[in-house]
Amino acid sequence: MASNVSRIFGVIIVLCGLAVCGPIDARTKRSQSAKVEFKQNNPCPANGARKGPCAGYVIDHIQPLACGGADRPENMQWQTIADGKDKDKWERNGCRPYPRPPTGRR
């Protein structure tokens, strides 16, 4: 019984995230603390910095926020700006399985 309740609760949360609450998009506030933690543990591939900008790279969510991914350091990777734009196009198509492994560094 408890298992079924947990399963139903999980479905409700997913439905809320996708339908009622709407998808997360570029205007959604991201966790600044998660980003700072990611940078501390994963220095910039271009210059090794743990703070500030990283020329030529963006922080990418491996599983996109709009597709249910967490806004946590474990779901982040460095990605070149070009690869990020490519993945953004895919994300706007509705979270279908990605046609090739996401590129970038973790």
Between 30 and 7, name the one with better pLDDT: 30
- The CA distance from 25 to 82, in Å, is 19
In this structure, is residue 73 part of a structural domain?
yes
Range with the poorest average pLDDT among 11-25, 42-56, 75-89, 92-106: 11-25
Q: How does pLDDT run across 67-102, given as a tens digit for each residue?
A: 889 999 999 999 999 999 988 888 877 776 655 555
In this structure, is residue 98 part of a structural domain?
no
In this structure, is residue 54 part of a structural domain?
yes
Give me Rg for the CA atoms of the chain: 16
- Residue 82's domain comprises 27-92
In this structure, is residue 22 part of a structural domain?
no
- The CA distance from 74 to 93, in Å, is 24
- The CA distance from 44 to 14, in Å, is 33
In this structure, is residue 74 part of a structural domain?
yes
Q: How far apart are the first and last CA of the chain?
A: 40
Domain count for the chain: 1
In this structure, is residue 79 part of a structural domain?
yes
- 96, two tokens: 């279908």
- The CA distance from 61 to 7, in Å, is 26
Q: What are phi and psi of 9, to 5 degrees?
A: -60, -40
In this structure, is residue 52 part of a structural domain?
yes
Whole-model pTM: value is 0.63
In this structure, is residue 60 part of a structural domain?
yes
